[in-house]
């Protein structure tokens, strides 16, 4: 069924619903409140890794220069030695992954508009694709290292402490020269919120009752918002937890709560290839007909400097 026909049918239903006493009573007393689940935004990517948008048909190649030219002390009046340049350039092509989702809904339900509309189905599919994309990228990035490959960029700890976090930050700074973000869910970042807010300003005392905390911007931010936006000048990116909301486990978490990602500069790049594409049709083989909508999106990711990533695993 066409969108205009569905909208017209919904308008007609609303217009005639109150013509009978029974219809008027039912129409007036039925109140529906729609509560949407949490959703993530692609804007999160730009806070910790360069993100580009490419059009369909573009040839995507990334060139990474790793070589250096020989430099030596100059001696005036001397024919200085020159060497073959060690100019190494890597060429990377993206392998794109595609996420797809689909929904089927009876045209009877669409006519009434009680459950959803075509626009609502499109918007919800796009939201769910984005949620799964961000969860998948985060999981991929946190799986770059493990305890066998590089102990310096991977640490397991039962409880996150500031010495553990500071050591990981220094390891990333050693390779990258900067740390762009510390990323995780609220459950994972909560210890950072607590010790980032006042540990540097705590007055030492032997009795717990006499501890005094001066009023500082960090402490006020934690007390007023229940979170801290930065740690030592590094942005803390809190990923709102989203749930699968599907059987058999409605509360399955899409983002792992036991991993924290420390991202340095130039670790890699995320590329969105095209936009969200839709395909819809009406299945007329059943009565009443079903409206079927599919949506998919493509993305690619390159981690060409894995040394600029650090993973903290909470056990």
Rounded to the nearest integer, the mean pLDDT of the chain is: 78
Mean pLDDT of all residues in 292-299: 92
**For the segment 63-116, what is each residue's pLDDT rounded down to a tens digit?**
766 666 777 788 888 887 777 666 666 666 666 788 999 999 888 888 877 677
Q: In terms of C-beta distances under 8 Å and separation of at least 24 residues, what long-range contacts does 56-63 make, across chains too?
A: 56/273, 56/274, 58/273, 60/93, 60/94, 60/271, 60/273, 60/300, 61/91, 61/92, 61/93, 62/91, 62/92, 62/93, 62/94, 62/269, 62/302, 62/304, 63/89, 63/90, 63/91, 63/92
The pTM assigned to this predicted structure is: 0.70
**For the segment 32-75, what is each residue's pLDDT rounded down to a tens digit?**
555 555 666 677 777 778 788 877 777 677 776 666 677 778 88
Tally of CB atoms within 10 A around 215: 9
Are 50 and 270 in contact, with CB atoms under 8 Å apart?
yes
pLDDT of residue 25: 42
Rounded distance between C-alpha atoms, residue 162 and residue 184, angstroms = 16
Are 154 and 145 in contact, with CB atoms under 8 Å apart?
yes
């Amino acid at each position: 069924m066409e969108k205009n026909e569905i909208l017209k049918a919904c308008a007609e239903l609303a217009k005639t619903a109150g013509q009978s006493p029974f219809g008027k009573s039912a129409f007036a007393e039925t109140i529906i409140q729609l509560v949407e689940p949490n959703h993530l935004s692609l804007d999160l990517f730009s806070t910790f890794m360069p993100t580009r948008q490419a059009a369909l048909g573009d040839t995507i190649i990334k060139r990474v220069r790793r070589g250096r030219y020989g430099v030596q002390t100059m001696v005036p009046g001397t024919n200085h030695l020159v060497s073959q340049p060690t100019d190494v350039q890597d060429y990377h092509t993206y392998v794109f992954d595609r996420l797809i989702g689909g929904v089927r809904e009876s045209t009877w339900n669409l006519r009434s508009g009680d459950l959803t509309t075509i626009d609502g189905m499109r918007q919800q599919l796009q939201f769910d694709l984005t949620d799964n994309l961000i969860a998948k990228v985060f999981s991929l990035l946190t799986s770059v290292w493990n305890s066998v490959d590089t102990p310096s960029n991977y640490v397991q700890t039962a409880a996150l402490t500031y010495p553990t976090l500071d050591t990981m930050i220094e390891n990333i700074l050693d390779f990258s020269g900067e740390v762009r973000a510390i990323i995780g869910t609220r459950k994972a970042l909560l210890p950072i919120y607590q010790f980032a807010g006042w540990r540097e300003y705590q007055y030492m005392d032997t009795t717990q009752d006499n501890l005094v905390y001066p009023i500082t911007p960090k402490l006020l931010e934690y007390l007023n918002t229940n979170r801290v936006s930065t740690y030592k000048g590094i942005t803390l990116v809190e990923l709102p937890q989203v749930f699968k909301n599907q059987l058999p486990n409605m509360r399955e978490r899409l983002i792992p709560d036991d991993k924290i990602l420390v991202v340095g500069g130039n670790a890699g790049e995320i590329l969105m290839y095209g936009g969200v594409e839709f395909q819809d049709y009406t299945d007329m083989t059943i009565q009443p007909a079903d409206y079927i909508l599919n949506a998919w999106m493509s993305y690619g990711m390159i981690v060409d400097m894995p040394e600029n990533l650090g993973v903290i695993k909470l056990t």
